[in-house]
Amino acid sequence: MPRKYLPEQKSAALMILAANYGDVKLTTQQTGIPVRTLFEWKQEGIKQQKNNFSRMQHNTATKAENAEDNEFLRLRELLMEHVFSLSTAINEEDDSTLLSIRSLAISRLIDRIIKLDDFIPSTFKEKTVRFEYFYDGSVQN
């Protein structure tokens, strides 16, 4: 019969899992929660995180003022989703070759996102504060 865990126990176990960088076996040894349960909780968290991420990114695309900005934002969202999916697919069991290929792909995608951000106009209007100092004996025109 499967054991029911309180939400506090689940959140504490997930915090320990995050502190262990996703190492389920080590977290099982520390908490006594079975590997299968921790793995299911980890997968639920990844799905929930991905849903929250895509919902947040979709909201930014709908706020665009014109069609060209909207296309840039959609492209940025697509690149961010690829980065997210590649980063969640990394496992500690992967060999070094696969890990280096994925990290290279992630770094290239992030580089393209940074370059794309230069084309997207900022909706935040930066205020400029100007200070003028007038010294005694100086002449101002």
- Burial letters for 38-65: b for 16+ Cβ neighbours within 10 Å, e otherwise? beebbeeeeeeeeeeeeeebeebbeebe
Element (H, E) at 19: helix 7-19
Do residues 60 and 77 lie in contact, with contact meaning Cβ atoms separated by under 8 Å? yes
Q: Give CA–CA dist 69/33, Å, rounded.
A: 48
- Tell me the CA distances in angstroms from 141 to 76, 134, 135, 136, one per residue in order: 49, 12, 14, 14
CA–CA distance, 75 with 63 (Å, rounded to integer): 14
For the entire predicted model, the pTM comes to 0.43
Q: Cβ(57)–Cβ(37) under 8 Å?
A: no
Q: What is the pLDDT of residue 58?
A: 54
What string of pLDDT tens digits covers the 141 residues of the chain?
567 888 888 888 888 887 777 888 888 898 889 999 988 888 887 777 766 665 655 555 455 556 666 787 888 888 888 888 888 877 777 778 888 888 888 999 999 988 888 877 666 667 778 877 777 777 665
The C-alpha atoms of residue 14 and residue 91 are separated, in whole angstroms, by: 17
First-last CA distance in the chain? 87
